[in-house]
Amino acid sequence: MHRASPKTLAILFSLAQQHKHLVINVPKFRILIANEQIVRRAREIANQIQREMGDEPPVLVSVIEGARLFARQIQLGLGGRLPVHEIRAASYGKGTTSSGTVQISGGPSVPVAGRTVILLEDIVDTGRTIAALRERFLNDGARDCLVATLLSKPSRRVVNVLLNYVGFEIPDEFVIGYGMDIAGRYRELPDVVIYEAEVEQAAQSACS
């Protein structure tokens, strides 16, 4: 297990200062994947995509908001010239378990018919979100719809989806940071961190 990086500590402390009601017991948050590992792995995935894509550029689609940072790394790894389109898919609301239904909004501003779409996702959990998005793009006439995800929790899968590029497989833990949130918080943490509600509650009650 890694120790919190100085940057993570700085961000957590500044969050705690801005939101006095949310004082975080920093040392107890466990880092699962450090920022440097994420960046390195994203580069490897981008290289693999580049090798496998041939001449025709794919349509990159980032599932916002969680995948923005990962999508940016992939975009840079592919040379920085391909645009990243955004699509919103929501199934979580405010908690740590999926509601089961996926609401999709937005999407690429270019036609996808006959092209290969690559969905850039932060984490695949039950698989419902990615399955719904793939279906949407294949219905729109995409020749293929591949999936690149930073994280995957295989033990949680409900829908069988093919993940073409996976950054890291992780155990059944709710994670935050590197774009991922719980109820809109902690996205800005540079590392992937295991969210522990009891840590947050203990820190809050210690300060109230």
What does the DSSP 8-state code read for residue 4? Answer: P
Q: Where are the alpha helices (DSSP H) in the chain?
A: 6-18, 35-53, 68-77, 128-139, 197-207
First vs last C-alpha separation in the chain: 30
Counting contacts by CB under 6 A, is residue 59 touching ligand IMP?
A: no
Confirm whether 125 is a catalytic residue: yes
Residue 174 in the binding site for ligand IMP (CB under 6 A): yes
Considering only residues 24 to 53 of the shown chain, the ones binding ligand IMP according to CB under 6 A are none
Show contacts with ligand IMP in window 72-91 (CB under 6 A).
91
Question: Minimal CA–CA distance to 68: which of 188, 167, 206?
Answer: 188
What's 24's DSSP letter? -
CA count, 13 A, side-chain hemisphere, 43: 6
Q: In whole angstroms, how close is the CB of 60 to ligand IMP at the nearest point?
A: 16
Residue 62 binds ligand IMP (CB under 6 A): no
Name residues contacting ligand IMP, limited to 176-195 (CB under 6 A). Answer: 180
Q: Candidates 26-34, 110-118, 127-135, 196-204: pick the segment binding ligand IMP (CB under 6 A).
A: 127-135
Nearer to ligand IMP by Cβ, of 6 and 184: the residue is 184
Distance CA 204, CA 208 (A): 6
Residue 167 token pair: 């950054």
Q: Which residues are catalytic?
A: 125
Which residue ranges make up the site for ligand IMP (CB under 6 A)? 63, 66, 91-92, 98, 121-129, 174-175, 180
